[in-house]
């Protein structure tokens, strides 16, 4: 993981710098700077608009008692995409637009969901969920009891729901 981060923070800026220099040689320094500035502004406006829409969808789903799983993934994609669009560079701008534009984001989210599902099923990730009060419920990720099989509320045995009534003992009277 550390190696990937080092690679990310060294190789990506070098590639970005190379691309910007090549574009600057073709269209000029001023036009290149304006291109970076305009993509940043357009990206910020688009991210803000998409973010507001996603927050509205999350609130709506939660008001209906649903878990807004897809919208949370959408929100994460827009957040990361917006940050990439504010980062100077062409490569990061392209990736940022892919994450922010709903049509392209849809394909990426399908891939993310497949990856998460396979990680849970294979056992590389455990899923904890809230059922009644605390996060003690755990779904095994070894496949036999994963969150994608069976009853998602768990097995609580033979539970009876009753109302109680206080009865005074005759000796207390």
Predicted confidence pLDDT, tens digits, the chain (173 residues): 788 888 888 998 999 999 999 999 999 999 999 999 999 999 999 999 999 999 999 999 998 888 888 899 999 999 999 999 998 899 999 999 999 999 999 998 898 889 888 888 887 877 766 655 554 545 544 444 444 444 445 555 566 677 777 777 776 55
Output the pLDDT for position 164: 74
Run of H or E residues at 93: helix 90-100
Q: Could you give the CA distance from residue 29 to residue 118 in angstroms, rounded to a whole number?
A: 46
Run of H or E residues at 48: helix 29-63
Output the pLDDT for position 131: 58
Q: With both helix axes pointing from N to C terminus, report the angle between 90-100 and 29-63 in degrees, rounded to the nearest 10.
A: 20
- Number of CB atoms found within 10 A of residue 86's CB: 16
Nearest CA-CA partner of 82 in 116, 32, 39, 26: 39
Whole-structure pTM value: 0.67
Distances (CA, A) of 109 to 9, 21, 46, 89, 99: 24, 33, 18, 24, 9
Output the pLDDT for position 133: 53
Output the pLDDT for position 122: 85
Output the pLDDT for position 27: 95
């Amino acid at each position: 993981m550390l190696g990937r981060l080092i690679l990310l923070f060294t190789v990506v800026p070098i590639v970005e710098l190379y691309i910007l220099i090549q574009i600057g040689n073709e269209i000029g320094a001023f036009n290149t700077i304006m291109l970076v500035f305009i993509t940043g502004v357009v990206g910020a406006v688009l991210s803000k608009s998409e973010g507001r829409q996603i927050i509205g969808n999350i609130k709506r789903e939660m008001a209906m008692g649903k878990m807004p799983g897809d919208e949370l993934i959408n929100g994460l994609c827009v957040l990361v995409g917006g940050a990439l669009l504010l980062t100077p560079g062409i490569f990061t701008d392209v990736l940022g637009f892919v994450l922010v534009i709903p049509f392209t984001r849809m394909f990426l989210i399908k891939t993310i969901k497949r990856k998460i599902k396979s990680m849970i099923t294979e056992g590389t990730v455990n899923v904890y969920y809230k059922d009644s009060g605390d996060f003690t419920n755990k779904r095994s990720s070894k496949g036999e009891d994963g969150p994608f099989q069976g009853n998602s509320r768990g097995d609580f045995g033979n539970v009876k729901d009753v109302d109680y009534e206080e009865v005074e003992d005759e000796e207390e009277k």
